[in-house]
Structure 1
């Protein structure tokens, strides 16, 4: 591990600590980090080693700032905790945090009402499911992006780029003459949410999308958001069941209200509410995505090894129908998700351990499965020719194969002590751009390329 990698690992740990503190917003944390880096530079230029410069810089900042002082004390003792301390009631950061709730509520209401706008013009959810499938991400994600634009104080130039991308997505989803049962319709419904979620990522990062650190922050946010959204959905399911049965007890049928208003509007609002919960709880409890990663990594590794063993034992080929391809792609995405969230919570300076070796087994197993699926897809294309579904599956599996292959190589180098862990983190954060480019290609280029089939 190089000196620069070790220093970046220490700064990353310090930054994660600061971001968990509710007293600091992202702009304040950025300012503190710039201040820390400049102090480290001054000290190293004076002849100190980087680890000494880091500790001294943090402690000197601690004499100026209460939060840094607390971090300095804990870092010196290597006691990494998440303390729940109330902020000062009159600080600007606290005042801004109080305004976040009404702003979040406003954005959630906008998202909830957006899904009802088409019905005001005669396009009902029950009558035109294809329209809603193509446009589902356009109802909630602009409101979520607006929330982050306000929270991050994004500049007008970035706001303009976000607006153009959302308009482009709306045109692509609605201007093409896509039949309800066309393969391109399904591909648009699958890939447009991914493309626009990464557009939201630009707003989340405050427009600083080129930063590896900011992209990793967004990856962490995505995992936490998904968990909170699922929890809200489960709670919403309980609320729906209770509502229907309580009103049925007095002879009132509210199923139309539930299906036309409560469920669709609640789902759109939950997209924004889940994001607010992730932001609000950062200083309260440990992130859940890395914790779940610890639980499911060995389980998925075992399942993939069992599948490969059964595949070799039975010599059965893989059925490459659309649903099966989607299933395998989801499996590979889950594997990458487990890898990403383990990376996001890992101390970059720690030595490789048993869990790292388990992850290497998981990645290599997924790589072998992806290669098998690619061979099956290639054989099917050779026999029956190209179609939108097969071409999309081929491209996605090639993209995943490249990611998994290089990740396995970097992981192997790290486990053998020949590469720093930071290289794997940078590879994953920079590869996000490839996913974004592919999603936009499927949405914009595939329909006309395949004659809107």
Structure 2
């Protein structure tokens, strides 16, 4: 088989796999088995003299309708949670698996609560140890979530050791450096360590197979769905907090201490795990939420970014490069990339480019122009006042975002002109994820000594 045929076949299989994951709440491990079955059929057909693209189409057709294949596969793998969405009859293995998932969630949520309250036994209370929790909150709330996925996925011993080692490295980076309480390094660590550890959670989610672009794409989809559930839980928690305060005030009891030291921190830590469990348990419902929200917010964000660019051009005001403003602009650029990514992951790869794709391209180009203005402002401040930890971190992050946005715009231009496949853009985004992880670890581990712990 010629190399170009290999590339074409891999692209077709990647599109088929993405379609399978969108149509049903099928675990990636199950899709792996189906993909092996598909590849075997393609190999058999190509041996008869068919071209790879012809063999692929015939193999997919012979695999049967999606519903029939799902039913057959569910009967052969009765321990999968999604069987309840395909088969109507309940059985003991499926029920046992659901109970196991619930038990794992409860235990790991309890670990999250314990993690945020245990430091109080050593004198680190919420009222007087804000600096300690700023350094370590990412560790405290993401370690139980990592345990949840490692337990649920039954990851290998080597993967467990790697996960534990990365969390230990994060703990050292957050706590061993002799930095002052008002140091910029503490703030940078508090921002970047959770990002670095979130990608460690991704390693557990992917069962240790983090080099797989498809597994990274699965985790990116999960991240969006997890965030939606976490926000919903947070809104419900806000209502609960308000009711609690009002109810206790009505009987003359001040519940502020209970709210601030127990309800909010413990509820928040548990919600991190509960949201993950909800995504895992209700994939068929939540999978459609991120794409729908993407459709709603893409035009809104596009209009907002264009308005910002017009305002800058009319007023000739430079972008404020203070830390809070830089964080806001970087979050805006990350949201733009997320909107593009979720839109691509949810669309039919075979559909022709449409109006929405042009809108996505306009969104990316607008974000790219804003990033250029931010970079110019940062470089101007560095030229005038020199390098500081904040400005250096912002410079690196915006350079990373610039590369991502620039290549995304180039790929999207090829897509809307019909010269490139959507799979290329998805692959670019998943391949770029380790760059963000590497930069986050650099800021956490290298910046404090590099800037003399300032």
Task: Identify if the C-alpha distance between structure 1 residues 265 and 90 changes in structure 2 by more than 3 Å, giving closer, same or farther.
Answer: same
**What does residue 17 of structure 1 align with?**
23
Q: 2:354 matched to 1:348?
A: no
Alpha-carbon distance in structure 2 between the residues aligned to 1:419 and 1:63: 29
TM-score, normalization by structure 1: 0.92
The structure-2 alpha-carbon separation of the partners of 1:63 and 1:403, relative to structure 1 and needing over 3 Å to count, comes to closer
Greater Cα offset, 370-379 or 54-63: 54-63
Distance 1:241 1:375 in 2: 45
- The 5-angstrom pairing of residues 126-165 of structure 1 reads 126-165=127-166
Cα distance in structure 2, aligned partners of 1:351 and 1:415: 8
State the 1:272 CA deviation. 0.3
Match of 1:27 among 16, 26, 29: 29
CA RMSD of aligned residues (A): 2.3
Write out per-residue CA displacement over residues 184-224 of structure 1, whole angstroms, 9 at most, x where no aligned residue: 11000000000000000000011111111110000000011
Q: Deviations 1:418-446 (Å, cap 9, x if unpaired)?
A: 11111111100010000000000000000
Shift of 1:225: 0.6
What is residue 309 of structure 1 aligned with on the other side?
310
Query: 1:6 aligned to 1, 12, 15, which one?
Result: 12
2: distance between equivalents of 1:319 and 1:52? 56
Is structure 2 residue 249 aligned with structure 1 residue 248?
yes
**Contact 2:70 2:86 (C-alpha < 8 Å) held by counterparts:** no
Cα displacement (A) at 1:40: 2.4
Given that residues 148 and 204 in structure 1 are in contact (C-alpha distance below 8 angstroms), is that contact kept between their aligned partners in structure 2?
Answer: yes
SS at match of 1:179: coil
What is the SS of the residue equivalent to 1:116?
helix
Q: Secondary structure at 1:404's aligned position in 2?
A: helix
In the TM superposition, residue 241 of structure 1 has moved relative to its aligned partner by 1.0
2:226–2:279: 8 Å Cα contact kept in structure 1?
yes
d(CA) in 1 for partners of 2:29, 2:333 = 35
1:382 and 2:388 aligned: no
User: Greater CA deviation, 315-324 or 125-134?
Assistant: 315-324
Asked if the contact 1:173–1:188 (Cα under 8 Å) also holds between the matched residues in 2, the reply is yes
Native 8 Å contact 1:62 1:69 kept in 2: no
SS, match of residue 184 in structure 1? helix
Say which is worse superposed, 357-366 or 287-296, in terms of deviation: 287-296
Name the CA shift for 1:163/1:407 in 2 (closer, same or farther; >3 Å): same
CA–CA distance in 1 between the matches of 2:429 and 2:92? 37
Alpha-carbon distance in 2 for matches of 1:350, 1:294: 16
Distance of 2:173 and 2:9 partners within structure 1: 48
The match for 1:90 is: 91
- Which residue does the alignment assign to 1:214? 215
1:186 aligns with 2:206: no
**Structure 2 gap segments, 5+ residues each:** 1-6, 74-83
**TM-score between both structures, scaled by the size of structure 2:** 0.91
Superposition pairs of residues 287-366 of structure 1, within 5 angstroms? 287-366=288-367
Match of 1:422 in 2: 423
The answer for the alignment partner of 2:44 in structure 1 is 42
Q: Does 1:403 align with 2:409?
A: no
Q: In 2, Cα distance between the equivalents of 1:146 and 1:285?
A: 23
Match of 2:230 in 1: 229
Verify the 8 A CA contact 1:142 1:166 in the aligned structure 2.
Answer: yes
2:107 alignment partner in structure 1: 106
Do the aligned partners of 1:209 and 1:215 also contact (CA within 8 Å) in 2?
Answer: yes
Counterpart Cα distance in 2 of 1:151 and 1:386 = 45
User: Deviation at 1:318?
Assistant: 1.6
Where structure 1 has 5 or more consecutive residues not aligned to the other structure, the ranges are 72-82
Contact 2:145 2:272 in 1 (8 A): yes
1:3 to partner: Cα distance: 5.2
Cα deviation for residue 61 of structure 1 reads 4.3
Task: Tell me what 1:80 maps to.
Answer: none
**Structure 1 CA distance for aligned equivalents of residues 118 and 372 of structure 2:** 45
Contact 1:388 1:450 in 2 (8 A): yes
Distance change >3 Å, CA 351–CA 65, structure 1 → 2: closer
* Residue aligned with 1:347, SS: coil
CA distance in 2 between partners of 1:175 and 1:121 (Å): 17
Give the SS at the match of 1:284.
helix
1:4 Cα offset (Å): 4.2
SS of equivalent to 2:284? coil
> For 2:345 and 2:66, how far apart are their aligned partners in 1?
29
Contact 1:297/1:358 (8 A) holds in 2: yes
